[in-house]
Structure 1
Amino acid sequence: MSDAPEVPDPPREQARRRFGRNDLEARAQATREEIRHQVAATRAQLDATNERIEARTGRNLPIAILIGLGLGGSVLLSLILVKSLFMIVAVGLIAFTSFELASALRFAGRDVPRIPTVIASVAMVPTAFYLGNDGQWFAYLAGLLLISLWRIARQATAATRTGSQDLWKDVGAGVLIQTYVGLLGSFAVLLAAQDGGEWWTLAFLILVISTDTGAYASGLLFGKHPMAPRISPKKTWEGFAGSVTVAIVAGVLLGLLMLDQPWWFGIVFGVLIVASATVGDLAESLMKRDLGIKDISTWLPGHGGFLDRLDSVLPSAAVAYALFVVFAP
């Protein structure tokens, strides 16, 4: 081992090493800049695509998908694991939906008591689940009586007294919420409570989602001819045709594989559900147009409100229960 002092590199060697390090740093910096540029370009492209889709359909698609998966997952797990959990999920959905619809009607000038409305709507869920049809209809009629008497009692105070015409409009608004949200929604709970009814409930929910997806995709790709431009300008006949096609295919598959029904039942199932889902969707669109609002609420980003997601489900629940009564063994 030599004790001779280290000889420094010649100036040319030092310059070469510095140049090599600078070259590597420059390449790394260029690579980082290129990655940043590609990420920014991809993000801009995705944002532009999402803006075009949102302008065409009125939805923020990524957020809508995430929220839809969350709601769908909670319903799916509750039906498969313990049916009483589905009742709890239904209580939450009906409570929020009835509250936001009552709030929207109050914003439009109708004096609808929100808390009694929510209580009356929610009461139909456990009574339908545990007491069947009799409990469902008893809770429905009792809720109508509660809401009507509550509104009539407010006539006793000068601050809330209105003319007879406005009074009956307010009572009618309360009846609408109890029927549209509470009664129709309770049919899904009534169906799930039956022996094997959880599979029928799951099947009709899958079918509603399938028809909505089929209408969305075909309308986005091929939609040119408005279906009801004065009610819902974004709905097209091409989208409706796509929903019917998907509904029939999904109905046959669900009937054969999940409900143990003949193939022709699937056609009936699909046609009736797509009809009820479309009517429910258009009815809610007409309601929003009359109220002068885009969404019932903004509680669900990308969807609007709970009623904006349940508008097709509510009437379809009554249709699915009727089919169960007729066709289930």
Structure 2
Amino acid sequence: MRREHRSAAEIEAQIQAQIHAARDQIEATRERVNKRTGRNIVAAFGIALVLVAAVLVSLLWIKTLFMVFATVLIGFALFELASALRFAGRDVPRVPLVLLGCAIVPVTWYFGAAGMWWSTLAAIGIVALVRLVELADVSTRTGAGSVFADVTAGALCIAYVAVLGGFTVLLAAQDGGQWWALAMILMTTVIDTGALAVGVWLGRHKLAPRISPGKTWEGLLGGAAFAIAAGIPLSVWMLGQEWWFGIILAVLLVTSATVGDLAESIIKRDLGIKDIGSFLPGHGGFLDRLDSILPSAVVMMALFQVTHA
């Protein structure tokens, strides 16, 4: 009886040891992946699912909700970028910049491209005027060159985040444009995910080591392969185009998404920071999540106009 009891206890202890060993191995693997990517992958995946779900509900249920959702995202991204610029020494008026930049989105939704351009000019002009009015305070007088750099930084925030983001809203506002906006968001998500997965496991050759040391050519090719695999069915079943259109779509969006990613990396490198913000666990900030989408929206809007001419 004692031998049987000891044997059962030993078996239980052995099982517990195996469970702990497996758990430790999983944790070690996750730590290696997080170290390689510089991200908490589990948190990043969870946040991505929430964002994709919000996009699906807003685009396919009541399109106006997408405009509201986009306004919120762009507002946070503008605040992040303006705050990062202020941290780097640029005196960017955050409150008027965020409010006026956000206003571009509903104006674009209701008044189209003309509304977007006029509201953009107004936003840049007012933000610049606010900075000039601040010169009445002696403590804000930093020289003509610095003031010009401050005004330029404000214009960059609006043009980079609000205007490019406005193209997504402009696309979704078109008749049937919600499907093109959804396809674009799904494609950029697939590209980012594919590039990350392949880059982590197979990445050896750096794509742009001085700009973004974590990106590799293997990751780029992996993202392209994933994009083609997703682009063909999306083009046929969602966009009503020929199968070969999916390949063109994949190539263009891989290019725009990579350019957007590298452009944000250049900004972060010049500012000396790792992430623009920290609102989204595993992603950094909102702009870190939108960097691939912003230029891709312009490409997708152009493709929509070409195919519907």
Give the TM-score taking structure 1 as reference length: 0.89
Q: How does 1:194-209 map to 2 (within 5 A)?
A: 194-209=174-189
Counterpart for residue 318 of structure 1: 298
Stretches of structure 1 lacking an aligned partner (at least 5 in a row): 1-18
TM superposition shift of 1:225: 0.6
- The CA RMSD measured in Å over matched residues stands at 1.7
1:77 and 2:57 equivalent?
A: yes
Counterpart for residue 114 of structure 1: 94
SS in 1 for 2:142: coil
Counterpart for residue 21 of structure 2: 41
Identity of counterpart residues, as a percentage? 53
TM superposition shift of 1:245: 2.0
1:285 and 2:265 equivalent?
A: yes
Q: Determine the C-alpha separation between the residues in 2 that align with 1:65 and 1:282.
A: 21
The one-letter amino acid of 2:169's match is: V
TM superposition shift of 1:30: 5.4
Q: How does 1:233-272 map to 2 (within 5 A)?
A: 233-272=213-252
TM superposition shift of 1:34: 4.6
Counterpart for residue 188 of structure 1: 168
**Larger Rg: 1 or 2?**
1
Counterpart for residue 97 of structure 1: 77
Q: Determine the C-alpha separation between the residues in 1 that align with 2:93 and 2:23.
A: 46
Counterpart for residue 66 of structure 2: 86
Q: Determine the C-alpha separation between the residues in 2 that align with 1:116 and 1:39.
A: 56
Q: Determine the C-alpha separation between the residues in 2 that align with 1:32 and 1:177.
A: 60
Q: How does 1:120-139 map to 2 (within 5 A)?
A: 120-139=100-119
1:142 and 2:119 equivalent?
A: no
Stretches of structure 2 lacking an aligned partner (at least 5 in a row): none
Deviations along 1:51-109, whole A, 9 cap, x unmatched? 11112111111111111111111111111111011111101100110001111111000
TM superposition shift of 1:29: 6.0
Counterpart for residue 231 of structure 1: 211
Q: Determine the C-alpha separation between the residues in 2 that align with 1:208 and 1:328.
A: 22
Q: State how many pairs are aligned.
A: 309
Q: Determine the C-alpha separation between the residues in 1 that align with 2:268 and 2:179.
A: 33
Q: Determine the C-alpha separation between the residues in 1 that align with 2:11 and 2:129.
A: 73
Deviations along 1:12-55, whole A, 9 cap, x unmatched? xxxxxxx78x976x677656645543443232112111111112
SS in 1 for 2:192: helix
Give the TM-score taking structure 2 as reference length: 0.95
Which one has more relative contact order, counting CA pairs under 8 Å at least 6 apart? 2
Q: Determine the C-alpha separation between the residues in 1 that align with 2:188 and 2:241.
A: 18
Q: Determine the C-alpha separation between the residues in 2 that align with 1:62 and 1:214.
A: 16
1:177 and 2:177 equivalent?
A: no
Q: Determine the C-alpha separation between the residues in 1 that align with 2:18 and 2:71.
A: 47
The one-letter amino acid of 2:133's match is: A
The one-letter amino acid of 1:218's match is: V
Counterpart for residue 8 of structure 1: none
Q: Determine the C-alpha separation between the residues in 2 that align with 1:318 and 1:285.
A: 20
Counterpart for residue 156 of structure 1: 136
SS in 2 for 1:283: helix
TM superposition shift of 1:246: 2.0
Counterpart for residue 13 of structure 1: none
Would the alpha carbon gap of residues 32 and 271 (structure 1) be closer, same or farther in structure 2, given more than 3 Å must change?
same
